[in-house]
Amino acid sequence: MNISQLITKAGITPNEMQEATIDAVLNDRDDVVVMSPTGTGKTLAYLLPVAAQTDATSTALQTLVVVPGRELALQSDTVLKNIGSGIRSMACYGGRPTMDEHRLLRQQCPQIIFGTPGRINDHIAKGNIDVRQLAFLVIDEFDKCLDMGFQQEIETLLHSIPLKARRILLSATQPEKMEATMNSYRSGHKITTLDFRLEDDATAERIKVLTVRSEEKDKLPALAQLLGQIGQESSVVFLNYRDAVERVTDYLLEQGFSAISYHGALEQKEREEHLYLFANHSVNTLVSTNLGSRGIDIPDINNIIHYHLPESEQDYIHRIGRTARWDKTGRTFFLLGPEESLPEYVDADVENYNLSDHTDEAPTLPPMVTIYIGKGKKDKISKGDIVGFLCKCGGLKSKDIGRIDVYDNYAYAAVARLLVPMMLKKVRGQKIKGQKTIVEVHRTWEK
């Protein structure tokens, strides 16, 4: 599939950074370094030209994409699959047995693999991944890989890859060790550097910075009041500690808010489920450690709330990078206690959001509800089949249906909250493509 067809399938008009990256990957033979702020579309910038140069008829692995976390591996894999390029891909990451992944690798013969450094090195060492025909090694979020302590694993990986494979590195900043790392394994090879970090100013202009004062040291009541006034908008509340995330989430749930936690102590399946419910607007508020500031690409996040102040300027940059994606706008709130002040590194026009100036509002439920459907790909069910079923049998219109994801044995669909009771009543006992199935509300901490 050529690049024009892939761009059309992706449904984008490439921005300046994407155009330059696509041109460099397609038309040069150099290694490529791309530096651009979060939210500017770096994933599609490398995926589209790499996919255009992938031989879909081959069983060989042709591209290895290394990312700092499981979530980004899964999200990047989903981005490629959603394009509909016909290229086989797979995500590899820790938290599940290596043997299970090895079995899937043998079955699927992926042409592109997305994975975390440690798991990829493990597969290469065990011979589960054959890199001899690799055309591209991509390291996405290279700055975050180094921040998260993966430097030794990255260097091990670089020395395992054939010299003929081109390297593509993508980063929101320029880590001090980037150039040294690039030259350490491939000294003298030409590197094309594309630096679009000046767009940070444009991104900052789309984010309104506000301070919110809590009269009490315990900021929970102020947070609840703020969220009540924000209403149905999608918000991420950042804290610095896992136990604090659980405490804040529990409090918000007790107060009747739609909230869900996200941190490294959760089981991987639970983390994925929580992100999914937040991304499809079945939950309004994600309460997270800084884990949620790295590599999570969820569109249409309206607000970033710093319950705990960011511990560094880099943490701040990564946090606010979750909003104002692409050309959208967003807000970031600093919830300040009696003895707290705005960090010096915040270089922006700051407004005061006075809670007493706004009317108190009761917690607002999210606009969507996630529905479980007990049939999937193995039952020959597609997204189109689900839309048809929910509209014909459930009395919905296409505008009442949000994100749909179809897995092997089941599917999820986001449905407008107010229409769920009527829809469930109408589909009871109905068949989808001639097959009886279960249709029920997914467990979402409903009140």
The answer to whether residue 135 sits within a structural domain is: yes
Sheet-wide strand order for 259-262: 259-262, 285-288, 235-238, 303-306, 330-336, 207-213, 350-352
Q: Are both 397 and 284 inside the same structural domain?
A: no
Question: What is the three-state SS of 142-202?
Answer: HHHHHHCCCHHHHHHHHHHCCCCCEEEEEECCCCCCHHHHHHHHCCCCCEEEEECHHHHHH
Contact in structure between 52 and 26 (CB atoms under 8 Å): yes
Contact in structure between 87 and 112 (CB atoms under 8 Å): yes
The answer to whether residue 340 sits within a structural domain is: yes
Contact in structure between 206 and 272 (CB atoms under 8 Å): no
The answer to whether residue 84 sits within a structural domain is: yes
Tally Cβ neighbours within 10 Å of residue 69: 20
Q: Are both 412 and 276 inside the same structural domain?
A: no
pLDDT < 50 positions in the chain:
445-447
Q: Among 168, 199, 230, which residue terminates a domain?
A: 199
The owner of tokens 């010096």 is 344
Q: Could you tell me the residue range of the domain that residue 233 belongs to? A: 206-357
How many angstroms separate the CA atoms of 319 and 290, rounded?
A: 7
Q: Are both 15 and 138 inside the same structural domain?
A: yes
Tally Cβ neighbours within 10 Å of residue 58: 12
Contact in structure between 117 and 147 (CB atoms under 8 Å): no
Q: What is the pLDDT of residue 447?
A: 41
Q: Are both 155 and 70 inside the same structural domain?
A: yes
Q: Are both 346 and 373 inside the same structural domain?
A: no
Question: In sequence order, which residues have a C-beta less than 8 Å from that of residue 340 and are 6 or more positions away?
Answer: 309
Contact in structure between 323 and 341 (CB atoms under 8 Å): no
- The answer to whether the pTM exceeds 0.75 is no
Q: Are both 236 and 274 inside the same structural domain?
A: yes
Indicate the SS3 state at residue 69.
coil
Amino acid in position 263 = H
Q: Are both 280 and 157 inside the same structural domain?
A: no
Q: Among 312, 331, 357, which residue terminates a domain?
A: 357
CATH number of the domain where residue 148 is located: 3.40.50.300
How many angstroms separate the CA atoms of 352 and 211, rounded?
A: 5
Contact in structure between 50 and 111 (CB atoms under 8 Å): no
Question: In sequence order, which residues have a C-beta less than 8 Å from that of residue 141 and are 6 or more positions away?
Answer: 67, 68, 72, 170, 171, 172, 294, 295
How many angstroms separate the CA atoms of 355 and 333, rounded?
A: 12
The answer to whether residue 19 sits within a structural domain is: yes
**CA separation (Å) from 51 to 2, 64, 80, 109?**
9, 12, 9, 16
Tally Cβ neighbours within 10 Å of residue 22: 22
Q: Among 332, 357, 382, which residue terminates a domain?
A: 357
The answer to whether residue 222 sits within a structural domain is: yes
Question: In sequence order, which residues have a C-beta less than 8 Å from that of residue 168 and are 6 or more positions away?
Answer: 25, 31, 32, 33, 34, 46, 50, 136, 137, 138, 139
Contact in structure between 398 and 391 (CB atoms under 8 Å): yes
Q: Are both 191 and 318 inside the same structural domain?
A: no
Q: Are both 291 and 320 inside the same structural domain?
A: yes
Q: What is the pLDDT of residue 395?
A: 96
The answer to whether residue 363 sits within a structural domain is: no
Give the number of domains in the chain: 3
How many angstroms separate the CA atoms of 96 and 433, rounded?
A: 34
What is the DSSP code (8-state) at residue 67? -
Q: What is the pLDDT of residue 95?
A: 79
Sign of the four-CA dihedral 317, 206, 77, 74: positive
Contact in structure between 182 and 303 (CB atoms under 8 Å): no
Q: Are both 277 and 139 inside the same structural domain?
A: no
The answer to whether residue 362 sits within a structural domain is: no
The answer to whether residue 258 sits within a structural domain is: yes
Tally Cβ neighbours within 10 Å of residue 397: 10
Tally Cβ neighbours within 10 Å of residue 183: 12
Structure tokens at 35: 């530096």
DSSP codes of every residue in 249-302: HHHHHHTT--EEEE-TTS-HHHHHHHHHHHHTTS-SEEEE-GGGGSS---TT--
CATH number of the domain where residue 434 is located: 3.30.70.330
